Amino acid sequence: MGFAGAMVVAMAVDALLGWPSWLFARIGHPVTWLGRLISAIDTAWNRDSDPPAFRRAAGAAGALVVIALSVALGWMLQSLLPSLLPWGWVQIVLVGVLAWPLVALRSLHDHVAAVATPLDAGDIAAARAAVARIVGRDPATLDEAGIARAAIESLAENASDGIVAPVFWGALFGLPGILGYKAINTLDSMIGHRNERHEAFGWAAARIDDVANFIPARLTGFLFVLLASRRSKALSCMTRDARRHRSPNAGWPEAAMAGALGVRLSGPRIYHGSATDEPWLNEGARDPLAADISQGLTIYRRAMLLLAGILAILAFA
């Protein structure tokens, strides 16, 4: 079955429709379903009274349960298709439609654009409210540059986590691949934090997510480089600064975007009242502005079109 072609279908449907609010109101979303399962496991298995070693083992077991169930569901659905639908192209389209909710192409674009619009109009309060929906840092501390920086970083990182990575694993393995990846990514976003409650319990989830995103993050960075008007600067910034990021993966698309736009990203920020002294990506460049968010969105759109084109070529090869 042409899984690469199915991922093109998923990207196309999501670009056209996103995940409609009326549908979310009626059935929720696969990520919210995964979230309820993960939350239940976290509540039942992550006990403060247990020693760290036990909590680490329980967290690893919980992560494997969620991932295994997701992969099994994808395998079951995919294995039923040949007997129900004898035409190969129909199977490809149906796999793409089933994968559609797991590709956040339009959602990411719309959430970042919602920051750029009020920021460009000088409405800092509305821009802070919009950026608070996509990042965890304290919005009240952000000026125009801080808001723009947060939005661009979110765009770059989530292009990898929300589109390139699920499509990558979906193109390789179909529904088991994309469902398994989405389980891994949701686990990391919910319990893969370095805080008192999840330092031990979420250790395995965070490490698995690092492995699953290793190739997609670098692929996303190179897509940004190829679509940048400053290709050489984007490439040099990515290869020089990506490893300076606190994440082993997020630095690649973020550094590529910083070089592509000619701005500095990352750097010191405040999370939940605590300051963190993060290193700069593209240190020495200027601070980003609202116009840079729009330019970042242009690079993002072109990169996703290029990704779809590559998948289409693989599907017909």
Whole-prediction pTM value? 0.94
Give the span between the Cα atoms of 285 and 292, in whole angstroms. Answer: 13
Q: Which residue range forms the structural domain that includes residue 186? A: 3-316
pLDDT tens track for 36-73: 999 999 999 999 999 999 999 999 999 999 999 999 99
Count structural domains, the chain: 1
pLDDT interval class at 268 (50, 70, 90): confident
- Average the pLDDT over 170-199 and give the result: 95
**Cβ contact 141:133 at 8 Å:** no
pLDDT tens track for 120-176: 999 999 999 999 999 877 788 889 999 999 999 999 999 999 999 999 999 999 999
pLDDT tens track for 246-267: 899 999 999 999 999 999 999 8
Instruction: Give yes or no for residue 272 having a pLDDT over 70.
Output: no
Which one, of 169, 155, 172, 168, lies nearest residue 302 by Cα? 155
pLDDT interval class at 274 (50, 70, 90): low
- Average the pLDDT over 305-312 and give the result: 97
Query: Which residues are bridge partners to 259 per DSSP?
Result: none
User: Percent of the chain scored above 70 by pLDDT?
Assistant: 97
Q: Give ∠ CA 297-301-306 in degrees, rounded to 5.
A: 145
